[in-house]
Structure 1
C-alpha cells in the first residue's frame, strides 16, 4: 500500500504509518523513521487523525506543508536528534488530496552498513534504535541489534573461532565435500592438498590468536559436528520435512539434531537436494558425487537456488534456523534473518549481497550457488514459465525471518503436454525471434513449439505476445488463434 500513489486503505501496516501533525511536526515521527529504516522501509503520512477510542483514521491535512517539510529536513540533519539521515531529496514531499495538504516521508530500508539508525532519547540520555513490528514502532531488542551489528561486518563469517579446535570438524563431511569439489573443479591445484591446507584455501579455517589454525565461523557451520555448533549457537537448527498426502505428520525428515549424521550445512544440503531431485522427478546433470548446480532443467535449478540461498543468507545467531518444507501444493523455504535488499531489488536481480560471504564461497565451490546475485530473479522467471501461481517472498520480525513459498502446481498445458520427468528447456524471446528470421514464414504457437523442442505451449504464447507488444512482429487472428509474422 502507498499513500503517494493512492493505493491505500486508512489503516496502518508494516509499511505505512499515520500521524496527525495538527500542532506541528510530532517528535515521535523519528521513532517511526528509525523503525522503518531498520526494518523494511515505509511511508510516514503527516495529516491523518486517529480517533483514540475507535482507532479509526480520517484525513485531516496539515496547516502548512512547506513549513513542515523545512522542519523535517532541519531535524533530520540534527545529529543531536537523529543518528543518521538516510533520506534523499525526493523522499519528503507534499501532496493535495480531497482539498487538503499532506506531507509524506518515504523512508528507505537502510543499507547494512548504516544500521542501526538511532534517535536520541533525551530522557534516557542515550541513542535508541527502533524496529517496525506490524503497526507499531518498538525499541530494538538485543537480538535485533546483534543482527544489525553482524550485518555491519561484511566478512564476519571469516573470523576464527578460537574456542574450537580442528577436531570440531567432521572428517566424513570434508571427504564428501572434497569429492564433490574435485568433480566440479578437476583442474584445481587444491585437489592435491592435504585437508588442512585445502580447508585454509576455501576459508574454512584461519589463524587464531595464538597463530594456530582453528575453524572459522563459516567452516564450523559447513563442516562442524552439530553438538559443537550448538555449544556455540544453542538455537541452531536445520530442518527438512515432507508432509504430503493425508498424513498429518511428516513422511520424511532430515533434522540437524537427530544425532545420526553430522548436522552441518554441507551434509544437510547434499542430503536434501537428493530428496528434492526425487520429489520433483527431474534429475540434475550430475554423477554420484552429488554435484547439483548446472542442472539442465530450469525447475530443479530454481529449487536448488532456493535451498542454497536460504543456507548462505541465514543469520546464524541465537535463533539460527533454516527450514525446508515440501507439501502437496508448495515448497516452503525459510531462514532466520531478514533480507539485505528490498524484495523488488532481489527479484529484479543483479545485486549480490550475502550475509555470509565465506559460507557462500564454500558452497559455490561445489556448484551450489554462483554468487551472481540472480538467484531470486531466476526463480521468479522459471516459476512464471512452468507453474500456475507465482512465488511469494516475505519477511517477519521478532525474530527476523525470510520465507520463500514456491507453489508447485504446473500449468495445465505443461502438465499434459510433457511426459513425467521430461526435461524442459527455457527459451527466450530472441530464440523465438530467430524462428521468424530463419524461415521468413508466418508462425503460430504450434510452429514455434516444433522449431524449439522443449518449449512449453504457454511459454511460446508468452514469448510471441511479448514480441508483438514490443513491435518486433505483427499478428492477425485466424479462427480462434493468432498467426504472427514479420512485417
Structure 2
C-alpha cells in the first residue's frame, strides 16, 4: 500500500478490507477484533494513526511507534490472546510529518479457523462490510466444519449398502464411466466392488459401509433425506429480465430433492425447456446439431453447483435463477481459494473431494480447479460479458452469474468509431468492459476478458492508458479516463447507442414497423418493460422487442424516464415531442413515416 493509496482511502468511508484505528499511544482493544475478523474472512489492512471525526478521517499519527508496534505484534504471538499465530506484514508510512503503522492481516488457513480471542471461541469475528461482527452459532459451526481435516463427504454412515442405493443410478454412472476414453474398465466388478474401488464405500469393523458422498450421489430417497433434509437445488425460470426482480413470480420451477445423479438429469430437462436450440448442420457429417450454444457453460455451471456446495448445511439450498438476460447460480458454501486462484489451472482445496472426483471420472468439470476456467472460456467464446463471481467468505456463499450481454456490442463499436480510435480485438474488448463498468477494473478482470497471461494483460491496459482511454489507478488497477467517461455517458444519455446499427447517427428510421408503432402509441403514458410486453402480448423480451425499443430510442421518438441510469429496474419509457409529431402524421395520413 502506497502513501497515495492511503490518502485516497482517507477520503472514503471504511470498507471491507481496510480498518482505521487512532492508536496514538496504545493499541485499542477492538483492534484485535478486527484481526479476528480479517483472519476469518478475506484478510485486510489495519491502519494505526487515523482518527475518525464524523464522516471524515483525520491523520493524527502515532507518538511512540516502537511501543505500539511491539505491543501489537507480541500480542498476536500469544496463544492465550489469539487462537493461532497470525501472519502480519507491517510497514511504517509518514504523511505530513505524522507516522502511520500499516498492518496487512492475512486470511487464516481454513484449518486454523475460527480465529478467536482470549481463549473463548465465542469471541470469533467476521468482517461484514465496514464492521467487525461477532460470529453467530451457525457461523461458528460452518467455520468449524470447514476446518475439519476429514471432508464431510468422506464421513462413514451406518447404512446397509444392500438397501441404501438406487441401482439404476449406479448403472447410469457406470455406463458414463466406461464410455469415457482413457478410463480403466471395471465392467467385471459388482456395483459394491466398483464403489469400493473408488472410495465411495469403506471397509469397517462392521463390514462395508457407505460414505456421505455415495448417498448423495446414488442414495435412495429415504436414506438421502436422512442426511440432507433440504432440497439439493431449486431451479426457477422467470420470463422477465433481472432488473425487474420482484415484478412477478417464477414461470417454471423445479425443486430437486433427490440424489445428484437424478438431480443432474432433472436440471438438464429443465434447461432444455428454455434453451435456444439453433438449426445447424455439421459440414462433415451433414447431420443436424441440436446442442444449444450455451450448453457447455451451463452444464459446467450445473456441475459446479452440485459438486461444491456445502451439504453439511442443513437449511440453505442451492438456487438457479434464469432470467431473460442472465442466469444466476447460488450455492451455500464458499470456495476455499480466492477468485484469482480459482481461475488458475492448478489443483485446489475442495469441500467435497469424493464427489468432485466422481464427476471428473465421467468427464464433467476440469481436472484441476472448479471448472470455472472452462465456463469463462465457453462464455467468452459466445461474445458475452465475462462471468461474475461473488465468493462471500463472511456469509460462506458462492455465486456465479452468466449475463447474456454482448461485450463488444454495436453501441461500443459505434462509440469507438465516434471517438476515432483503432484498437486490437483485446484492446477493444477491455475498453468496452471499462465503459460498461464506469468504475475501477483490475488485472484479474482483464485476464477474465482476454484470457492472456498477466504480463500481456498489463501490456493491453498500458496501451489503452497511452491512448488516453484508460487511467491508471494503482499498479494493477485502471479506470475509464475521465474525458472518455464524460463522452460515453453523454452518448448513453442521448440514447444514441441504442439505435446504432451501421455507425453513429441521429436520424430516425425511414419507416416504423408494427411493433415500433404499437410501442410508440403505448408510450403516450410512461410504461415500463413489463407493461410494454403485456400490451404486445409477448411472454419475454424477444429480439424483435429489443430491436424495436432500441430503434425508437435511437431515433429520439421515445425517451427514458431515468436517463442517468439506463438499466434501472424503475426505468420507464415515454414518447418524446418528436415521437408525438410522427404519431400525429401516422394517424392523420396512415403513412408510417414521411
1:40 aligned onto 2:42: yes
The 1-side partners of 2:114 and 2:457 are apart by 46
Deviation of 1:268 after TM superposition, in Å, equals 1.6
Which of 297, 309, 315 is the aligned partner of 1:314? 309
The 2-side partners of 1:403 and 1:336 are apart by 9
Deviation of 1:87 after TM superposition, in Å, equals 1.2
The 2-side partners of 1:216 and 1:69 are apart by 50
| 8 Å Cα contact 1:332/1:404 also seen in 2 | yes
Q: In structure 1, what is the equivalent of residue 92 of structure 2?
A: 94
Q: In structure 2, what is the equivalent of residue 190 of structure 1?
A: 186
Q: In structure 2, what is the equivalent of residue 81 of structure 1?
A: 81
| 8 Å Cα contact 1:394/1:404 also seen in 2 | yes
Normalised to the residue count of structure 2, the TM-score between the two structures is 0.60
The 2-side partners of 1:266 and 1:325 are apart by 21
Q: In structure 1, what is the equivalent of residue 31 of structure 2?
A: 29
Deviation of 1:32 after TM superposition, in Å, equals 1.1
Q: In structure 1, what is the equivalent of residue 112 of structure 2?
A: 114
Deviation of 1:280 after TM superposition, in Å, equals 5.2
Q: Partner of 1:310: helix, strand, or coil?
A: helix
Deviation of 1:378 after TM superposition, in Å, equals 3.7
The 1-side partners of 2:2 and 2:374 are apart by 27
Which of 12, 15, 18 is the aligned partner of 1:10? 12
The 1-side partners of 2:458 and 2:30 are apart by 52
Q: 1:21 to 1:271 in 2, by over 3 A?
A: same
Q: 1:36 to 1:413 in 2, by over 3 A?
A: closer
| 8 Å Cα contact 2:114/2:121 also seen in 1 | no
Q: In structure 1, what is the equivalent of residue 265 of structure 2?
A: 270
Deviation of 1:346 after TM superposition, in Å, equals 1.7
Q: Partner of 1:234: helix, strand, or coil?
A: coil
- Report Cα offsets for 1:396-427 as digits up to 9, x if no partner: 4675211111111234669xxxxxxxxxxxxx
The 1-side partners of 2:336 and 2:129 are apart by 19
The 2-side partners of 1:97 and 1:349 are apart by 42
1:70 aligned onto 2:66: no
Deviation of 1:217 after TM superposition, in Å, equals 0.9
1:211 aligned onto 2:206: yes
Q: In structure 1, what is the equivalent of residue 163 of structure 2?
A: 167
The 2-side partners of 1:348 and 1:119 are apart by 35
The size of the alignment, in residue pairs, is 403
The 2-side partners of 1:201 and 1:4 are apart by 58
Deviation of 1:367 after TM superposition, in Å, equals 1.4
| 8 Å Cα contact 1:343/1:393 also seen in 2 | yes
Q: Partner of 2:319: helix, strand, or coil?
A: strand
Residue ranges of structure 2 left out of the alignment (5+ in a row): 242-246, 280-290, 411-424, 427-448, 461-594
The 2-side partners of 1:215 and 1:4 are apart by 58
More displaced 10-residue stretch of structure 1: 211-220 or 370-379:
370-379
Deviation of 1:219 after TM superposition, in Å, equals 1.0
More displaced 10-residue stretch of structure 1: 349-358 or 376-385:
376-385
| 8 Å Cα contact 1:345/1:351 also seen in 2 | no
- Could you say which structure has the larger radius of gyration? 2
Q: Partner of 1:157: helix, strand, or coil?
A: helix
| CA-atom RMSD in angstroms | 3.7
Q: 1:95 to 1:310 in 2, by over 3 A?
A: farther
Q: 1:355 to 1:235 in 2, by over 3 A?
A: same
More displaced 10-residue stretch of structure 1: 180-189 or 327-336:
180-189
| 8 Å Cα contact 1:233/1:320 also seen in 2 | no
Deviation of 1:315 after TM superposition, in Å, equals 1.1
The 2-side partners of 1:467 and 1:49 are apart by 38
Q: Partner of 1:168: helix, strand, or coil?
A: coil
Q: 1:469 to 1:2 in 2, by over 3 A?
A: closer
- Report Cα offsets for 1:36-57 as digits up to 9, x if no partner: 1111222222222234xx5654
Which of 389, 395, 418 is the aligned partner of 2:391? 395
Which of 324, 348, 364 is the aligned partner of 2:360? 364
| 8 Å Cα contact 1:349/1:376 also seen in 2 | no
Q: Partner of 2:163: helix, strand, or coil?
A: helix
| 8 Å Cα contact 1:47/1:59 also seen in 2 | yes
The 2-side partners of 1:382 and 1:62 are apart by 52
The 1-side partners of 2:66 and 2:78 are apart by 19
Q: Partner of 1:49: helix, strand, or coil?
A: strand
Q: Partner of 2:37: helix, strand, or coil?
A: helix
Deviation of 1:172 after TM superposition, in Å, equals 2.6
The 2-side partners of 1:137 and 1:226 are apart by 42
Deviation of 1:197 after TM superposition, in Å, equals 1.3
Q: Partner of 1:332: helix, strand, or coil?
A: strand
More displaced 10-residue stretch of structure 1: 359-368 or 175-184:
175-184
Which of 89, 104, 109 is the aligned partner of 2:102? 104
| 8 Å Cα contact 1:21/1:62 also seen in 2 | yes
| 8 Å Cα contact 2:201/2:208 also seen in 1 | yes
| 8 Å Cα contact 1:151/1:355 also seen in 2 | yes
Q: 1:276 to 1:108 in 2, by over 3 A?
A: farther
Deviation of 1:469 after TM superposition, in Å, equals 5.5
Q: 1:467 to 1:203 in 2, by over 3 A?
A: closer
Residue ranges of structure 1 left out of the alignment (5+ in a row): 258-262, 284-295, 415-427, 430-458, 471-487
| 8 Å Cα contact 1:280/1:300 also seen in 2 | no
Deviation of 1:329 after TM superposition, in Å, equals 1.2
Q: Partner of 1:192: helix, strand, or coil?
A: coil
Q: In structure 2, what is the equivalent of residue 405 of structure 1?
A: 401
The 2-side partners of 1:13 and 1:134 are apart by 6
More displaced 10-residue stretch of structure 1: 217-226 or 299-308:
299-308
Deviation of 1:101 after TM superposition, in Å, equals 2.3
The 2-side partners of 1:347 and 1:2 are apart by 27
- Report Cα offsets for 1:234-259 as digits up to 9, x if no partner: 344311222234893333332124xx
